[in-house]
Structure 1
Amino acid sequence: MTSAAAAHLRNSTLISIGISMAISAAFFLLVFGLKPVISVFAPDNLTLDFIPQTLAAGFMAALMPALQTRTKMAAGSLAGAPPLPLQIAKRAVWLAVASLALAAAVTALLWLGGIETMPWGSALALKVGYGGLLGLIITPIALRAILPRG
């Protein structure tokens, strides 16, 4: 990978982490509000919320950086052959679905740990951190698939 591609990958990943964290915080507030204690399972279902969060944040963490990379490739400011938008979209869907394994792992850890409720701040931190983790993992995978290797 060229130094320009590596810098692009790093910058895109950092932006993706920030956006994923912000979106995760916004949706947490929309879904759970300011309730002081949140049930991990029923009735609040903090863990169930990992499914739509993972699918949405995982999809966007793959789609948007890859489309921006494609635009730079098409403009000639980044080396490589721009992939078709359909290829990017298919990969984004696949990565979002595959990232459900991470949601399952977090849910399993909460269940195995016997955690039944969380204070609002802890639940928010968990969801925001998880959103950032999705950006950290998904964006590099999506971009390495389209950036030239040499």
Structure 2
Amino acid sequence: MSAVPALPIAGEAGIGFAINATLSLAFFLGIFGMVARPLTWGAPDALGLDFVPQSIAVALMSALVPSLIARKRLGLAISVRTILLRAFGFAIGGAVLGGLLAWATDAAALPPIGWGQALALKLLYGGSLGALITTLALKRMTR
């Protein structure tokens, strides 16, 4: 059995953090606008519900893209089908996590949050989830 070439997983996770935080910024501005105002967790802003699509997208792309790049870079004999199935599994996990966060924010009946605080929260969440999923996906591939 040959050893799997080394992959700088921590570095890849850092890149994943930056990419997902940037994408979270773009979507946040697109959905909630650029005007600083209090945002509600439920209707009408649905900040809590936004955790669902954010979690799905971050989990899917953080598992899929780094895995496909690592597969090619390292010449790993892992099928694209396997990578796709794993990525969809992570996306389902992201949907569950996002749903739990949406439910929790609704159940807690949280007061509105400042626009800047909401932005910081969504950037930190998207980046951190991206780094975690990238780490888990790449560790799974290279063990």
Query: Fold-level match, TM-score > 0.5?
Result: yes
- Contact kept, 8 Å, 1:62 with 1:95, in 2: the verdict is yes
Query: Take 1:66 and 1:2, find their aligned partners in 2: how far apart are those partners?
Result: 14
Find the residue that maps to 2:39 and give its secondary structure: strand
What runs of 5+ residues in structure 2 fail to find an aligned partner? Answer: none
Give 1:77's aligned residue: none
- Contact kept, 8 Å, 1:41 with 1:116, in 2: the verdict is no
TM-score (norm 1): 0.84
Find the residue that maps to 2:78 and give its secondary structure: coil
What runs of 5+ residues in structure 1 fail to find an aligned partner? Answer: 75-80
Matched residues, number: 140
Report the CA distance shift for 1:146/1:4 in structure 2 as closer, same or farther (over 3 A). same
Find the residue that maps to 1:110 and give its secondary structure: helix
Shift of 1:112: 4.9
- Contact kept, 8 Å, 2:39 with 2:113, in 1: the verdict is yes
The residue identity in structure 1 corresponding to 2:49 is L
Give 2:56's aligned residue: 55
Find the residue that maps to 2:16 and give its secondary structure: helix
Give 1:128's aligned residue: 123
Give 1:100's aligned residue: 95
Find the residue that maps to 2:113 and give its secondary structure: strand
Give 1:64's aligned residue: 65
Q: Are 1:11 and 2:11 matched, yes or no?
A: yes
Sequence identity percentage: 34
Shift of 1:93: 0.9
Give 1:73's aligned residue: 74
Q: Are 1:82 and 2:84 matched, yes or no?
A: no
Cα RMSD between the aligned structures? 1.9
